[in-house]
Structure 1
Amino acid sequence: MATEVQKKAVGAGTDWWRGAVIYQIYPRSFQDTTGDGLGDIKGITRRLAHVASLGVDAIWLSPFFTSPMADMGYDVSDYCNVDPMFGTLADFDEMIDEAHRLGLKVIIDQVISHTSDRHPWFIESRTSRTNPKADWFVWADPKPDGTAPTNWLSIFGGPGWEWDGVRKQYYMHNFLISQPDLNFHNPEVQDALLDTVKFWLDRRVDGFRLDTVNYYFHDKQLRNNPPMVYDTDGAGMETDTNPYSMQNHLYDKTQPENIAFLKRLRALLDTYDDRMTVGEVGDGPRSLKTLAEYTTGSDKLHMCYTFDFLGPAFDAGYIRKIMTTVADTVSEGWVCWAFSNHDVIRHVTRFIETPEEQDRVAKLSISLISVLRGSICLYQGEELGLTEAELAFEDLRDPYGIRFWPAFKGRDGCRTPMVWEAKAPHAGFTGGSTTWLPVPNEHAARAVDVQERLATSVLAHYRATLAFRKAHASLVDGDMAFIETNQDLLAFTREKDGERLLFVFNLTRERQKFTLPARFASVTPLDMPGFVSRLENEAVVLDAVDVFCARV
């Protein structure tokens, strides 16, 4: 019996972001045009033709704002300017002109849960308890014994509070000590942040990726978080690299007041044509529930993504579980899926069992995510089948990786420079003598110019698969229903406007057969790019890491 997954939303097909394919660019690692070993805005403009050739709908730029770069730009000191290492506002305007000429929408990161401690707002706020911005950040008195106001922790390690000797108070920081949290309970803060959003809307930005969107508000009563309750008596705690996961974060994020702010943000965007938001929701086991709350209706976020597909699991049972949970939880909202981004180990490394299957797993991964219901994000370099780079400790730049080394090697392994020309110095990323992170030899061997010449390359497969997705409206925003199988196979249909497609994925390393349900009286095999759909005596035949597709 089929299990329905996500009913068609009202207005489906009328919004460009619904079912869109978004390509994430990490600016400092995409293309350097100045020779300083750091990517820049002009470099993005130079390489946009490559992005457009993939068949994507939009680009998402990780932060390029003025910043001391303690957290690679996620510590903003000026929301309305480009950091000189990336270029100028004029460079940005030229980039958006070229993107729009190529038919690409432009989405930028908005990191508004916190600022850099060098932002003028925080510099003023910390001078006294009575200055005009004294209440713009989360300040609190110590406990009588001098300890922090609550037990809240920082994701980057240690307490989530830092003492300031001038104000003789603690300030809250969910991330680095140099990233103080803004006080969203203050309407002036909300107004100021919405003004920065308007600045970029007026520069013709098409959308915003909202970093840590459920971290905006904190509990005004400053209540302590309880411990996380595990399924068994403490099982799993000993494997946690970061103590942050040992708390149930009831009070330091995901507060009910956030809904009203998201409505204010949406109301601003709705005064412009065709703009969108996609929120990053990191809320542990509550993430999908939070996603539903933030996307239900037409007055909050357009869509959100969670971390459900950014972990090690790549099996039929897990994917089905997540998708059916979405069906049960997110009745009206819209989801954006990704296997990789700038914060996690590249998915080919996570999913492969042997090096020999690198290309096949890379190809099947895009084939799978491209036919799930929702929008999708691709991360630069995944179209080349890149694996996670192995870096030495002395090469690390990520404060998170440095803090938790060697138990966790950080995020630099997925942030190494993009590889364009295999034989060029630094694989064509820069004409300078050094790069901010090393370019692995194994990455250079898979450069764009090498794969351009191969009809069977991962790059060619990405282009063909995204073209296949666009050729079938049911894959963009059609209905989805799962079909009962054994737990080794993932089978479902996508349907819209009289077209119904059947997909059966074998994510195992063994040959599998699947007997078609009797209701599929007429089946016409349809080869997906890179894979051959085979039927033998009305049974689907699948090799290891394989997919069958058919019209039914």
Structure 2
Amino acid sequence: MNVQNNLSQTKATKLSSDWWHGGVIYQIYPRSFQDSNGDGIGDLKGITERLGYIASLGVDAIWISPFFKSPMKDFGYDVSDYRDVDPMFGTLDDFRDLLDKAHAQGLKVMTDLVLSHTSDQHPWFSESRSSRENPKSDWFVWADPKPDGTPPNNWLSIFGGSAWQWDSRRLQYYLHNFLASQPDLNFHCTDVQDALLDVARFWLDMGVDGFRLDTINFYFHDKSLRDNPALPLDQRNASIAPAVNPYNHQDHLFSKSQPENIAFLERLRALTDEYEGRACLGEVGDAQRGLEIMGEYTTGDKRMHMCYAFEFLEKRALTASYAKQVFDQLEAKAGDAWPCWAFSNHDVQRHASRWNLDDAATRQYPVLMMCLRGSACLYQGEELGLGEADVPFEKLQDPYGIEFWPEYKGRDGCRTPMVWAAQDEQSGFSVAEPWLPVSAVQAENAVDRLETNPHSMLHHYRRAIALRHAHSALASGAQKEMAQNGPVLTFLREDAFEQIFCAFNLGGDLTNVELPDGKWRAIGRDLGSVEGASNVMLNASQFCLMVRDKG
């Protein structure tokens, strides 16, 4: 098979309405991608300047973290105007130009919609808090105190402490699942739902190809405001919040993931379906029921196209036994769910550091991701093999890290500026001192250095993405017969045209792997795949990929 010709044909196919199904999405954190105007902060024009590089990776789409107007208490995830660009990032015309030029390069563009909450500086909240009788008085979650003046229930904020903030104007508490400056919208109010759907329509009309939906299971709260039960110590999972955060002490049965959310997601999907080829990717933040919720939210064709949970964003190592456990649970709870896998993003420690990967393991993981059933999200700099940057306390910007320092250093270490040119000022990100320091360690793996080395991590990622594009079974085929053989994970991917056998040694012991009966031929040699006839011996971080035609 001619990989380049097949890639071209597949990319052409990706212009169809199901481009997202098995697609590869590249996440851009705009503050840290490329500064075009010398203020030390990345912007939309900077992204536009780098579209050629992104397209060269072979990805299908970009997801841009929020660039809407915001006081930046949570760096754009606190929106004060859903329909405009923050001047820090540029203008609406800059975004339209980015959109046009991305489409010209064959790239889809997904914007990051933060619908569960706004900034406390949003006009909606200003009106809502002004009185208990105004037209938007019920657009946010307000509640009277208990008789002793304490909050209405025991719900906790992900950023630490109570999820309730006292407001002296209304003499009530308002709900905030995140910062106190991020009040939660009241989705039980139909007017709120309608207003947010109008926001989505605004961006769809502009031509965006879909949305990454932040904290999608936080939209609704329990109307009765029932207390969350305590979570036993042995069931606490720090995948959503760091272990030092009391948020992990509760089972969040009532503060999020409510059944009423399904109807709203169906309204959002119906709106999206009015536009050809658009897709919705939901972020599911739930340490106990993430896979179950993913299944609920993506089942059938009336809800979200895809969701991602935090199973592979955890500190817990991605072993063969754990990977099989995740897929067994997914199959049991939601066999037709369509996942989107990510190993790194803007909220967690980069996986090369989080899992303490050596070079061989770092090379194995993108191949594994491209072989697993589901779509894939890559985080900027991941393709360079970047580890977590070390940001000293005095340089921290993240309120989360500042709150829980030093046991938890926050999210700044994965948000430092992209490294483009090793010898340039600020590694080519900016001509000014950036909002977060450029990592000298990361600069050793700058794009310009890796481009000149055909064996670099950057070219390895390009080959891994090309492998998925070259084989329809990997992009959107079924996944069968997943098994664990010691440290080795094996499974089959297949569609009507081909069947692919995949084996990954995710541990450290040399292991013999038997190939299924049949006539197989090797693929992925340029990625380091180990070949075999009836069996292969796989050492730590080695893998084997074999294909046979069907028919």
Instruction: Sort the TM-score into its range (normalised by shorter chain).
Output: over 0.9
The answer to whether the 8 A contact 1:302-1:333 is kept is no
In the alignment, which residue of structure 2 is the partner of 1:203?
206
Q: Distance in 2 between matches of 1:551 and 1:181?
A: 50
Relative distance call for 1:36 and 1:236 in structure 2 (3 A) is closer
Local SS of the residue matching 1:197: helix
The answer to whether the 8 A contact 2:491-2:502 is kept is yes
1:190-229 equivalent positions in 2, closer than 5 A: 190-229=193-232
In the alignment, which residue of structure 1 is the partner of 2:356?
352
Q: Distance in 1 between matches of 2:76 and 2:124?
A: 17
The structure showing larger relative contact order (alpha-carbon pairs under 8 Å, at least 6 residues apart) is 1
The answer to whether the 8 A contact 1:534-1:542 is kept is no
Q: Distance in 2 between matches of 1:116 and 1:542?
A: 52
Does residue 335 in structure 1 map to residue 339 in structure 2? yes
- For residue 521 of structure 1, report the CA deviation from its aligned partner: 3.4
Does residue 315 in structure 1 map to residue 315 in structure 2? no
Give the aligned residue type for 1:91.
Answer: D
- For residue 146 of structure 1, report the CA deviation from its aligned partner: 0.3
Relative distance call for 1:484 and 1:70 in structure 2 (3 A) is closer
In the alignment, which residue of structure 2 is the partner of 1:542?
538
The answer to whether the 8 A contact 1:155-1:244 is kept is yes
The answer to whether the 8 A contact 2:487-2:508 is kept is no
In the alignment, which residue of structure 1 is the partner of 2:445?
446
1:428-439 equivalent positions in 2, closer than 5 A: 428-432=428-432, 434-439=433-438
Q: Distance in 2 between matches of 1:336 and 1:170?
A: 36
Deviations 1:207-261 (A, max 9, x none): 00110001011111111001013448x9999x93111011011111011111111
Deviations 1:7-43 (A, max 9, x none): xxxxx99611100000000000000011110000000
- For residue 55 of structure 1, report the CA deviation from its aligned partner: 0.3
Moved more, 184-193 or 322-331: 322-331
Give the aligned residue type for 2:537.
Answer: V
Does residue 522 in structure 1 map to residue 525 in structure 2? no
Q: Which of 300, 303, 307 is the equivalent residue of 2:303?
A: 300
Q: Distance in 1 between matches of 2:208 and 2:531?
A: 45
Q: Distance in 2 between matches of 1:51 and 1:488?
A: 34
The answer to whether the 8 A contact 2:238-2:248 is kept is no
Relative distance call for 1:235 and 1:66 in structure 2 (3 A) is closer
Stretches of structure 1 that go unaligned for 5 or more consecutive residues are 1-11
Does residue 66 in structure 1 map to residue 69 in structure 2? yes
In the alignment, which residue of structure 1 is the partner of 2:455?
456
What is the aligned residue count?
Answer: 531
Give the aligned residue type for 1:43.
Answer: G
- For residue 550 of structure 1, report the CA deviation from its aligned partner: 1.2
- For residue 551 of structure 1, report the CA deviation from its aligned partner: 2.0
- For residue 534 of structure 1, report the CA deviation from its aligned partner: 3.0
Local SS of the residue matching 2:121: coil
- For residue 118 of structure 1, report the CA deviation from its aligned partner: 0.3
- For residue 114 of structure 1, report the CA deviation from its aligned partner: 0.3
Relative distance call for 1:390 and 1:489 in structure 2 (3 A) is same
Does residue 427 in structure 1 map to residue 427 in structure 2? yes
- For residue 549 of structure 1, report the CA deviation from its aligned partner: 1.2
Deviations 1:319-369 (A, max 9, x none): 11111221222222311000000000001112235xxx2x32221110100
In the alignment, which residue of structure 2 is the partner of 1:533?
530
1:371-382 equivalent positions in 2, closer than 5 A: 371-382=371-382
The answer to whether the 8 A contact 1:278-1:305 is kept is yes
The answer to whether the 8 A contact 1:352-1:361 is kept is no
Local SS of the residue matching 2:485: coil
Local SS of the residue matching 1:323: helix
TM, length-normalised to structure 1:
0.94
The answer to whether the 8 A contact 1:19-1:477 is kept is yes
- For residue 523 of structure 1, report the CA deviation from its aligned partner: 3.0
Q: Which of 271, 276, 281 is the equivalent residue of 2:279?
A: 276
- For residue 443 of structure 1, report the CA deviation from its aligned partner: 0.9
- For residue 266 of structure 1, report the CA deviation from its aligned partner: 1.1
Stretches of structure 2 that go unaligned for 5 or more consecutive residues are 1-13
- For residue 162 of structure 1, report the CA deviation from its aligned partner: 0.4
- For residue 485 of structure 1, report the CA deviation from its aligned partner: 4.1
Does residue 39 in structure 1 map to residue 42 in structure 2? yes
The answer to whether the 8 A contact 1:526-1:533 is kept is no
Local SS of the residue matching 1:480: strand
Moved more, 97-106 or 239-248: 239-248
Q: Distance in 1 between matches of 2:237 and 2:19?
A: 44
Local SS of the residue matching 1:541: strand
Q: Which of 79, 96, 111 is the equivalent residue of 2:114?
A: 111
- For residue 492 of structure 1, report the CA deviation from its aligned partner: 0.8
In the alignment, which residue of structure 1 is the partner of 2:263?
260
Q: Distance in 2 between matches of 1:305 and 1:236?
A: 17
In the alignment, which residue of structure 2 is the partner of 1:324?
328
Local SS of the residue matching 1:365: helix
Q: Distance in 1 between matches of 2:17 and 2:50?
A: 29
Relative distance call for 1:258 and 1:348 in structure 2 (3 A) is same
In the alignment, which residue of structure 1 is the partner of 2:5?
none
Relative distance call for 1:235 and 1:450 in structure 2 (3 A) is closer
- For residue 299 of structure 1, report the CA deviation from its aligned partner: 1.1
Local SS of the residue matching 2:289: helix
In the alignment, which residue of structure 1 is the partner of 2:472?
473
- For residue 298 of structure 1, report the CA deviation from its aligned partner: 1.1
Deviations 1:485-526 (A, max 9, x none): 423110111111231111110112332222334xx1323233
Relative distance call for 1:532 and 1:217 in structure 2 (3 A) is closer
1:42-61 equivalent positions in 2, closer than 5 A: 42-61=45-64
In the alignment, which residue of structure 1 is the partner of 2:362?
362
The answer to whether the 8 A contact 2:324-2:484 is kept is no
Give the aligned residue type for 2:370.
Answer: S
- For residue 410 of structure 1, report the CA deviation from its aligned partner: 0.4
Local SS of the residue matching 2:509: coil
Local SS of the residue matching 2:50: helix
Relative distance call for 1:188 and 1:294 in structure 2 (3 A) is same
- For residue 191 of structure 1, report the CA deviation from its aligned partner: 0.8
Give the aligned residue type for 1:530.
Answer: L
Relative distance call for 1:485 and 1:221 in structure 2 (3 A) is closer
Q: Distance in 1 between matches of 2:413 and 2:304?
A: 31
Q: Distance in 1 between matches of 2:217 and 2:308?
A: 12
Q: Distance in 2 between matches of 1:528 and 1:373?
A: 21
Q: Distance in 1 between matches of 2:268 and 2:40?
A: 37
Deviations 1:282-320 (A, max 9, x none): 122211111111111111111100000001322111111
In the alignment, which residue of structure 2 is the partner of 1:404?
404
- For residue 132 of structure 1, report the CA deviation from its aligned partner: 1.2
Relative distance call for 1:484 and 1:88 in structure 2 (3 A) is closer
The answer to whether the 8 A contact 1:534-1:541 is kept is no
TM, length-normalised to structure 2:
0.94
Relative distance call for 1:485 and 1:307 in structure 2 (3 A) is closer
Across the aligned residues of Structure 1 and Structure 2, the Cα RMSD in angstroms comes to: 1.7
